[in-house]
Amino acid sequence: MFKSNFLFILLFGVAFFEGHIYSQNLTVTYKTESTIDFTLEFDRLRDNNKTVLNQKMGQLTDQALAIADQSIYNLEILGNLSYFYLNEELQNEANDEMVNKLAQIFSNKGTFYQDVEKKIIIEKVSTGDALIAYDFDFYEWELTTETQDILGVTCYKATTYYEDKHPMTGAAIPREITVWYAPDLPAYFGPQGYGGLPGLILKKCQSGKCFVASKIVKESNEIIMPKGELLSREKYQQKLKDIKLGF
C-alpha cells in the first residue's frame, strides 16, 4: 500500500533529479547513535570469558568503545558522485596506542563510492584494498508515509531487507535496514552506500546503531573513484573463503 501511495513521489523525484542532481555539491556529517549498551555487552563477555579478556584488555576495550561512539562520518557529494568515509580526527595522541587501534576497528565501517550515472556502488573494505561492486538498484525499498524531522527537514521512512552469506558456512545473515530520506534534498545518496531513494538519506539504522546527519554544508568537493579490480559480492565472499581454507 505504501509503495503505491508513494509511486508519484518516486517518479517525480527521478524526473526532478535528472535536472538538478548534477548541481549538488554538499558535505553531510553523520554522528552515530546506539540503542545498545556495548559496555554492558563487553562486561558480560568478560565475566564469561575471564581467561580470554583480562581486566586490562577490558579497560582498553571500554575506552575504545567510548571513542568509537563519538565517531563522525562524512558523505561528500559532487554531482552524480558521492564518497562516504570515517573522519579520523578523533584519534588522540594522549590515548594508548592500542585504544586508538581498537577504536579505529570499532568505528571503521568501510569506505563507499556511488556513481548515479554508471549506476554503481563501490565499497572499499576496511580490512584491505578489495573493491566490491554493487548495482545501484541492489536495494528494494519499501516506502512508508511515516515521517521524522532531522535538522529541520521532513524525512520519510523506508525499509529494505536482504541476506548476506557467511563466507565459510554459507548460512544466511539477515540485514534489516531502516532509513529516513528527505525529498526536499535532491540527491540519491546516503551513508554506507545506501541510496537510490527520492531524497538524501539523513538517517540509517541497523541492528540498534544509527548514522544520523548532524550537519549539511555546501562546499566544493573533489571525488576520485577508486581504480582496481571490482569484485562482485559473491566473488569477494568466495575469496574470503579461499583465504580461510588456505587456497
Question: Of the given ranges (16-30, 125-139, 160-174, 203-217), which has the lowest mean pLDDT?
Answer: 16-30
Provide the pLDDT confidence category of residue 243 given band limits of 50, 70 and 90: low
Q: In total, how many domains does the chain have?
A: 1
Provide the pLDDT confidence category of residue 44 given band limits of 50, 70 and 90: low
Question: Of the given ranges (51-55, 131-135, 209-213), which has the lowest mean pLDDT?
Answer: 51-55
Whole-angstrom distance, CA of residue 177 vs CA of residue 138: 13
pLDDT at residue 63 in the model:
60
Q: pTM for this structure?
A: 0.76
* pLDDT over 90 (residue 58): no
pLDDT at residue 107 in the model:
55
Provide the pLDDT confidence category of residue 233 given band limits of 50, 70 and 90: confident
The winner for highest mean pLDDT among 5-14, 60-69, 127-136, 137-146 is 137-146
Residue 53, helix vs strand vs coil: coil
Q: What is the pLDDT of residues 120-174, one digit of tens each?
A: 999 998 767 789 998 888 889 999 999 999 999 999 999 999 887 766 677 888 8
Boundaries of domain holding 59: 2-245
Four-CA torsion 110, 115, 121, 123, nearest 10 degrees:
-30
* pLDDT over 70 (residue 246): no
B/e letters for 181-195, b = 16+ CB within 10 Å, e = fewer, are bbbebbbbbbbbbbb
Provide the pLDDT confidence category of residue 88 given band limits of 50, 70 and 90: low
pLDDT at residue 98 in the model:
59
pLDDT at residue 207 in the model:
83
pLDDT at residue 211 in the model:
92
pLDDT at residue 201 in the model:
98
Average pLDDT of the chain is 77
Whole-angstrom distance, CA of residue 108 vs CA of residue 91: 12
Whole-angstrom distance, CA of residue 82 vs CA of residue 187: 10
For 182, residues 6+ apart whose C-beta sits below 8 A from its C-beta are 150, 153, 154, 155, 156, 199, 200, 201, 202
Strand partners, 175: 162
